[in-house]
Structure 1
Amino acid sequence: MHMTKNILIILFGTLIIPYSIFAQIKIDSSYVKYFENTREVPFLHFNKTSFLRGEEIWFKAYIQEQNTQKLHPTTSNLYVSIFNKNGTLKDQQLIHIKNGLGHGSVLLDSTYTEQYYHIKASTRWMKNFNEDNAFYQKIKIISKNDKKYSVVQNEKDAFEYKLFPEGGHLIANAINSIGILIKDKNNKGLKIEKGIIRDQQDNVIRQFTTNELGMNSVRLFVKENEIYRFSILLSNGKELNAYTPKPDSKGITLNVVNKNSDKVALHVISNKNTVRELHGKRYRIMIHNTRKFRNFYFSFNHTKQNYFLPIPKEELFPGINIVTVFNEEDQPITERLTYLHSEELFHELKPIVKKASPDSLKITFTNPTKDVIYSSASFLPSTTKAYNPQNNIMSAFILKPYIKGEIEDVHSLFDQKKDSKLRRLDLLLLTQGWSKYKWNNIFNNPSKTIFPFENGIDLTAKFNSSISSKQSILLFSKENNLLHTIQPNENPWTFKNSFIKKKSTIEFGVNKDDRITRIAPALSFSGGTLLDRLNKEQVSNEVFVNEFETSNFKPLKGEYETLNEVEVRGIKDKNVKEDPEIGVYRKIDMEKAITNSGMDLIEFIISKTPPFKPISRVELNGRNVIREPWLLKGVYLDQVKSVHYGTDIQVVLGQPAYAFFIFTYSNIEMVRKNSSTSKIKMPVGFATEKEYYSPKYPSLSNDTFKQYGAIFWKPKIELGSETISSITIPISIQRNVTTYIEGITSSGKLISQKVILKTD
């Protein structure tokens, strides 16, 4: 009998231990599976966020791959959508992303009649996930009298005043940490010099303050069934109150202290009622960041209510760490976000500025590292009020993937030179509560691949006319550098993964015996537009009274003509330049000349060379083929666009020589020559990248320009490893220039800097 009892105990232990292991494996495997698919995190760097009507919004797109924390190597289709204040779609552009980078612009023409618009950047693939990782930015359009009057029926409703128990709930008869957040009607933090905490008997328990971002935290012993009132007095004498939730009589909560230089202190807090029930139970602390996780375990005993768990910082991950406590049944019961600063996350550029001319600056960037640096820069007047992004690249890639709320004062959050900045960031995370990744989704609702991972646009052409076996269809577009032959049996025909430009022209023609006639297909597209909407949380009811009035405001001149001008300049002609480097030559334009189309180039050169004259050079489309004459054989004059020839400056065998510079038609030009085609303007496609141009401001010295104008925009500043690169910017009459730089390195280090460039 005694032996039987021992066997039962062993069996019992054998059954219990695997259950715990299986539960752990389930959590770990669910977590890995939930985050295994690639996730895109977009960020747009704007040249500014407040604009004059007639200006263009210029932006650079950076797409991070969340699992590697580097630029996304394969994403290609980024939809940039513009919504009005009611969430109605105003415009949408498809931006071509290459190796995680792209850029574009939007003209604020006369149809932009409202004061505020919201910009959203997202991909179709991102719609597969439960969490919204889209990028949002609110922009403002300045008009002559930019005033907005709103009447708030209840002024208290215009403020956001909330309390956030650390870990998500309060425990009775224990010391709890409580976050405080107060924002004004414009969603800006409100600094409170004196707040008062009272119990239900109106006794003053203690006082509190908030910083300039409207945040702070207090430690408070919470009695059972007690609700506490946090009172603040506004400048107009009105009182606002926030109340703590009723505390739980049993349970645990979490307090994270991230001050020590080498450890993060985790305090697991309970009370007398709880420890009796938890005695001997094993809890798990999971520290994770969607890419990696670590598990720590501890067991309760009936003598201890509070547990101090120092975690060495080398056990944490650079950036955001989510700390989740699981009970003995592997249920998440409390959670907190904390941040670990690391130099691995950041890179700093140190531009050197010199005066290039009286009205321009030369800025030199040095990259001493092995990384490649990708960055963009906006150059604005030093007194600008036009640059107020909701996120920089650091907050967009380090914070936003984890938190649900908005971030204020993003430019100073990651400045770790002052402890107060680290405190600000910790308060921000405390007042965010749990992360945006819900455990119910991780366990029970993993993402489903409903929307495809796009790579360009699929174009399908269906031809209603019959095509014989002796015919073929030619598709060509000079704007898209496209030439393709479609065989008769390819109907319908699909052009997969194309990067055709929106509003560009594509031509179709039937080719038979080298003659091209019209054919008009029916076209359909997969992709090119995204049915998108603006989340209600992004539309804030802001109240502005007499906010701004421009001085000497005039509409920008020539704004619409400028657009066309820039578009023309932005199209690169890939044909060889017909401009011989040296010498004076005679030119024959073959389109206008009467030539023998049966004559090839060798015969033509012989006919044009004077007797006994040596030939020094024969260049075909920029390549010297004097030693490769066979390349000229079979090239007939009807394939030649122009010829430059005459006496060369080079001397051969002591006498002047002849030189020929020959330029042939490109494949697309040959197709278009003497052909009849149907031309289709593309209704969908990628936006055309334009070269930046300076708006025609009425004045460069008035307050309108100084506060809301733009000097220059450089979307592409790339530095190879261990290289130096320079750019030149105009400064006109500006004494100082404020520069906002955003960027990322090939290893994923982030760059976000504000630099004052002095011109004297």
Structure 2
Amino acid sequence: MKLILKFFALLFCLQSFSQTSDNTEKIKNYIEAYFHYDRENLHIQFNKDIYLNNEDIAFKGYVFSKNTNTPNLNTTNIELIVYDDQQQIIQKQLLFAEFGTFSGGIHLNGKLKSGKYHFHFYTNWMNNFKEDDSFNQTIEIIDRKDNYRFENSEPDYKTAEINLFPESGVIINDIVNTVGIKIKDCNKKGIEVKDGIIVDSKSNEIAHFHTNKMGNGVVYFKADLNEKYTLKINTDKLKISKPLDKVQETGVVVSYNNNLAQNRLLVVVKTNDKGLEVYQNKKFILLIQQDGVFMQKEITFADKKTDQISFFDKKFLSIGVNTIRILDENLNEVAQRLVYIEGDTVPATTLETKTVSTDSISLSGKTALNKPRLSISVLPENTICINQKRSLAGTFYLNAYLDQPEIANYDYYNPDNANRKQDMELLMLNQNKSKFNWESIKSDPPKITFKFQKGVTVSGRVEQKEKSNSKNKMSLISLKSNLFEESPIDSDNAFKFEHFFAQDSTVLVLQMVNEKNLAQLTKVEARVSRDESRFVLGPTFDKSICPSPIKSENTFSFSPLKPEDHAINLEGVAVQNNFKKEVLVHKGDMSSSARAFKIKDNDYRSILNFLSFNGYVTGVNPNDNNVYVRNSRSTYLGDSATSPAVYIDNFLVFDMNQLFNLTLDQIDEIYIDQTGNSDQTASGNGTIKIFMKNDVKNKYFKPKYSSIVVTKGFTQNIQFKNIKFETQNEFNYFGTLYWSSDLKINDNSGFELKLPKNDQKEIQILLEGFSDDGKLISEIRKIPVNNTKS
């Protein structure tokens, strides 16, 4: 009989072992399949979040790979859609990312009305996944014609709401339960409570609790199945109560201690005495996971202990939010808890200021990172334009894994917040679930149907009939970007350039060449196109209908804008002038820096001779007998000296030999702009535009190329400019002292910049960025201005 019992016991153990081993392999396969494809997260730093409607909005974006925890170098196409408060689209942009970063902005023209505006950033690749990895930012724009009421720092107690989060979602009979408490107003502003209580059905006080400034708290109490419990707050500002969930007869709960020595994490899976009976022969798997990184362990209650204790070495866990799951024998989730694993702390950047003159400040800094890419905004001491204090780490390590993102998350990472670790523990308790659903991980891995977009497409046709054996090619040239590419022309006379990085307003030149690279005259029809991807999940703006945030009694009135030029209107005065001014037909096409020349009929000089008297060196190269036109400031470079872009009747001249026999008597106007500002194609070497007289137009010069202006390419980055504020108070509240989307770092990982002092005794600095190895910097600092002049 004993032998038979031993046989069945051995058989049961083998079956149990086989089942556990099988489940372990299944979990591994589920996670590897679901997180096989790399996902990208976006974080965007704005120079501030409140703007007057005639200011520049500026931002810098950072793209992070979730698989490698480093900058995502593959991403190029970032979509931006801007919505107003009625969720109407007011602008779209395609932004170009390179080496994991991108920059952009908007010139406001004074026409937008006061209100909240929502910026939504995403990529087409993100549409392959159920989870929302896009980035949303809400800013406020003020029409300076409206009075502005300062927002009160106090929450709106009338709209206070309590949410309760029992640990692992259940309150269990006859054990000490942990219940998270979150108290916020309708606008998500945390409410701090000094003393709240839990009472039973007889109004006996069972436990006390408090919440922090984020509105998060915790209460511990031993629950009785036959009791009903209520949370109550009774203060001068807030009187509110909320019943707790019904106590359950039994269940499974996950707790942990994240503050042990030796970098260890203690996880406790617990039940009550009733649970020991129910789960005695059950096997559970304790799984700790973030993306594709995980650890798992078998848990049983066979030893009749209600608390099952496990230790984990945190060096094998990922930085940021990890999900602890308890899975039953059928791999169904029965309990869940979130834990935040701290990474190596990056020392704060050293920042120092000093007054270098009566009206300027020198700001110097040094980072602990090797060659980081940084953006910086410097704001006045009394600015009101930092409402949403966000952190780069808060986006990549926190919100990337939360079902309910925490927007204003900087305090959880602020080194000056002595309670930040405790605050993070409370935040993890008051999140009832991860962004990643276990059932989806088990049964619905991503199906890649949205491609990874890179650049735009330039395509078209040539008019000339092509032979099947034609070797003609299409050349695409962008002088401004120093680009030259070639594409074959197929038997249907079509050509295509894919993954092309072209900015809006850039002029692209298309020229057909034969197998000998000789230009061929043909009509070319071309267009720039791209797939304007929409975000499948839609923008996730808070759609709660809430009263406007409480405003203080203090209002601010903006001074009327002063006109730049004071003009006097002389009514009834007629002035006669018999002087006949020369009419320059094409002057409006040029920048103000261009010099204009109206050519007289009896001027027979050559164009090369004319240019040699107006800032250029011209001649014929004796080595190849080709005409050259060079900038006189770079003649010391010889044949490698830069050349301007030369146009005849707005057609770009590729062969300077066409200028050799051109004389001024054939020319009507000449414009010389040595800055290159008159030309979207120029790369900074200057522009010369020649316009022929009507009787010789198109006879002298017949181009063998076509040009198109890019209209559906990447949005050009703005050159950020500060506006002029009418009063010092306006600047102190709303101005920007300095913004750079690409802070220049020296060889010692330091930087130095100069900014206007503007009567500031202290300045506020917003500094963000990352290094190639994924180290993050995100700091909001107040720095006193040292008045010692250098």
Deviations 1:176-205 (A, max 9, x none): 100001111332001123323222343332
Structure 1 residue identity aligned to 2:430: T
Deviations 1:470-516 (A, max 9, x none): 97655444445444455543732221111111243334456699777
CA distance in 1, matches of 2:509, 2:612: 22
- The answer as to 2:557 corresponding to 1:551 is yes
Tell me what 1:583 maps to.
none
CA distance in 1 between counterparts of 2:216 and 2:609 reads 77
User: How far does the alpha carbon of each residue in 1:65-96 deviate from its partner, in whole angstroms, 9 at most, with x for none?
Assistant: 01111111111111122112232222121111
Of 501, 504, 511, 1:502 maps to 504
Q: Is this contact kept in 2: 1:148–1:544, CA < 8 A?
A: no
1:609-660 C-alpha deviation (Å, 9 max, x unpaired): xxxxxxx97711339xxxxxxxxxxx97547999xxxxxxxxxxxxxxxxxx
**Equivalent pair of 2:207/2:219 in contact (CA under 8 Å):** no
Question: Secondary structure in 2 aligned to 1:738?
Answer: strand
Match of 2:769 in 1: 743
Q: Is the CA contact 2:163–2:181 (under 8 Å) kept in the aligned structure 1? A: yes
Alpha-carbon distance change, 549 to 534 in structure 1, aligned in 2, over 3 angstroms: farther
Provide closer, same or farther for how the CA distance between residues 250 and 668 of structure 1 changes in structure 2, counting only shifts above 3 A. farther
Q: Which residue of 1 aligns with 2:248?
A: 248
Choose which of 735, 745, 757 in structure 2 pairs with 1:709.
735
What TM-score, normalized to structure 1? 0.80
Distance 1:509 1:232, change over 3 A: same
Contact preservation (8 Å) 1:196, 1:230: yes
Q: Which residue of 1 aligns with 2:640?
A: 621
Counterpart of 2:530 (choices 513, 520, 526) is 526
C-alpha distance in structure 2 between counterparts of 1:591 and 1:474, whole Å: 32
Report if aligned partners of 2:526, 2:708 keep a CA contact under 8 Å in 1: no
1:305 Cα offset (Å): 2.0
Task: Give the drift of 1:258.
Answer: 2.8
Return the letter of the residue paired with 2:73: P
Aligned pairs for 1:366-405 (under 5 A) are 366-367=366-367, 371-389=370-388, 391-405=390-404
Asked if the contact 1:528–1:685 (Cα under 8 Å) also holds between the matched residues in 2, the reply is no
Q: Are residues 1:215 and 2:220 paired?
A: no
Counterpart for residue 27 of structure 1 = 27
| Distance of 2:735 and 2:311 partners within structure 1 | 52
Matched letter for residue 619 of structure 1 = G
**C-alpha distance in 2, partners of 1:727/1:131?**
41
TM superposition shift of 1:15:
3.5
* 99-108 vs 11-20, greater mean Cα deviation: 11-20
For 1:286, the equivalent position in structure 2 comes to: 287
Letter in 2 for 1:131: E
Aligned residues of 1:508 and 1:518 also touching (Cα < 8 A): no
Which residue does 2:443 correspond to in 1?
A: 444
Pairs aligned (count)? 685
Give 1:693's aligned amino acid. Answer: K
Could you say if the C-alpha distance between residues 88 and 11 of structure 1 is closer, same or farther in structure 2, counting changes exceeding 3 Å? same
Q: 1:450 to 1:618 in 2, by over 3 A?
A: closer
Q: Is the 8 A contact 1:462 1:523 kept in 2?
A: no
Query: Residue 478 of structure 1 contacts residue 668 of structure 1 at CA under 8 Å; is this kept in 2?
Result: no
Question: Aligned AA for 1:385?
Answer: I
Task: List per-residue Cα deviations over 1:664-692 (Å, max 9, x = no partner).
Answer: 9999999x985275543333111112332
* C-alpha contact 1:391 1:407 (8 A) present in aligned 2: no
Aligned to 1:758: 785
CA distance, structure 2, for counterparts of residue 677 and residue 605 of structure 1: 21
How has the CA–CA distance of structure 1 residues 130 and 603 changed in structure 2, closer, same or farther, with 3 Å as cutoff?
Answer: closer
| 1:424 aligns to 2:423 (yes or no) | yes
Q: Tell me: CA distance 1:457–1:669, structure 2 relative to 1, closer, same or farther (3 Å).
A: farther
5+ long unaligned stretches in structure 1: 559-567, 572-586, 607-615, 624-634, 643-662
Greater shift in the superposed pair: 219-228 or 371-380:
219-228
Percent identical: 22
Note if contact 2:286-2:296 (Cα within 8 Å) is conserved in structure 1: yes
Q: Which residue of 2 aligns with 1:489?
A: 490
| AA of the residue aligned to 2:136 | Y
The 8 Å contact of residues 165 and 179 in structure 2, kept in 1 or not, is answered as yes
Whichever residue aligns with residue 716 of structure 2, its letter is: T
Alignment of 1:664-675 (within 5 A): 675=703
User: Is 1:689 aligned with 2:717?
Assistant: yes
Which residue is 1:729 aligned to? 755
Distance 1:69 1:4, change over 3 A: same
Structure 2 distance, partners of 1:521, 1:697, is 48
Cα shift at 1:366: 3.2
Q: Distance in 2 between matches of 1:388 and 1:215?
A: 20
Change (3 A) 1:170 1:591: farther
* Change beyond 3 A, Cα 1:55–1:13: same
| Contact 1:197-1:207 at 8 Å conserved across structures | yes
In 1, the alpha carbon distance for the partners of 2:249 and 2:180 equals 21
Q: Taking structure 1 as reference, are residues 557 and 733 closer, same or farther at Cα in structure 2, changes over 3 Å only?
A: farther
Offset, 1:256: 2.3
Do the aligned partners of 2:149 and 2:551 also contact (CA within 8 Å) in 1? yes
Please report how far the alpha carbon of residue 318 of structure 1 lies from its aligned counterpart in structure 2 after TM superposition: 3.4
One-letter amino acid of the structure 1 residue matched with residue 61 of structure 2: A
Answer yes or no: is the 8 Å Cα contact 1:353–1:362 preserved in 2. Answer: yes
**1:708 deviation in Å?**
1.1
Look up the match of 2:189.
188
Alignment equivalent of 1:680, drawn from 682, 696, 708: 708
How big is each residue's C-alpha offset from its partner over 1:391-428, in whole Å with a ceiling of 9 and x where there is no partner?
A: 22120111011112242652321245765221111111
SS in 1 for 2:555: coil
Is 712-721 or 120-129 further displaced after alignment? Answer: 712-721
Partner of 1:233: 234
Distance 1:667 1:105, change over 3 A: closer
Q: Deviations over 1:511-544 (max 9, x none)?
A: 6997776735253623355456744553443413
> CA 1:416 to 1:708, structure 2 compared with 1: closer, same or farther past 3 Å?
closer
5+ residue gaps, structure 2: 565-589, 594-607, 628-634, 643-654, 663-681, 692-700
Q: Is the 8 A contact 2:269 2:308 kept in 1?
A: yes
Letter in 2 for 1:621: S
Q: How far apart, in 2, do the equivalents of 1:405 and 1:226 lie? A: 31
**AA at the equivalent of 2:253:** T
SS of alignment partner, residue 248 of structure 1: coil
1:709-758 per-residue CA deviation (whole Å, 9 max, x = no partner) reads: 11110111253664444322233333332111011122111111123151
What CA deviation, in whole Å up to 9, does each residue of 1:546-571 have, x standing for no partner?
4563233445978xxxxxxxxx99x9
CA RMSD between the two structures: 4.0
- Residues 221 and 464 of structure 1: is their aligned pair in 2 closer, same or farther, counting only changes over 3 Å? farther
Following superposition, the deviation at residue 208 of structure 1 comes to 2.3
Q: Give the superposition deviation at 1:240.
A: 2.2
Question: 1:159 deviation in Å?
Answer: 2.8
1:121-200 counterparts in 2 under 5 A?
Answer: 121-143=121-143, 144-146=145-147, 158-200=159-201
Instruction: Check 1:677–1:159 CA distance in 2 against 1; reply closer, same or farther (3 A cut).
Output: farther
CA distance in 2, matches of 1:23, 1:386: 53
1:14 aligned counterpart, secondary structure: helix
1:382 maps to a residue whose letter is E
Shift of 1:313: 4.3
Q: Is the 8 A contact 1:379 1:710 kept in 2?
A: yes
Could you tell me how far 1:439 is from its partner in structure 2? 0.1
Are 1:598 and 1:637, in contact at CA under 8 Å, matched by a contact in 2?
no
Quickly say closer, same or farther: Cα 1:466–1:355, change in 2 above 3 A.
farther
Equivalent-residue separation in structure 2 for 1:664 and 1:327 (angstroms): 65
TM-score calculated relative to the size of structure 2: 0.77
- In 2, Cα distance between equivalents of 1:664 and 1:257: 60
Which range is displaced more, 439-448 or 460-469? 460-469
Mark the CA change 1:473 to 1:604 in structure 2 (over 3 Å): closer, same or farther.
closer
CA contact (8 A) 1:336 1:433 kept: yes
Residue in structure 2 matched with residue 54 of structure 1 by the alignment:
54
| Alpha-carbon offset, residue 167 of structure 1 | 1.3
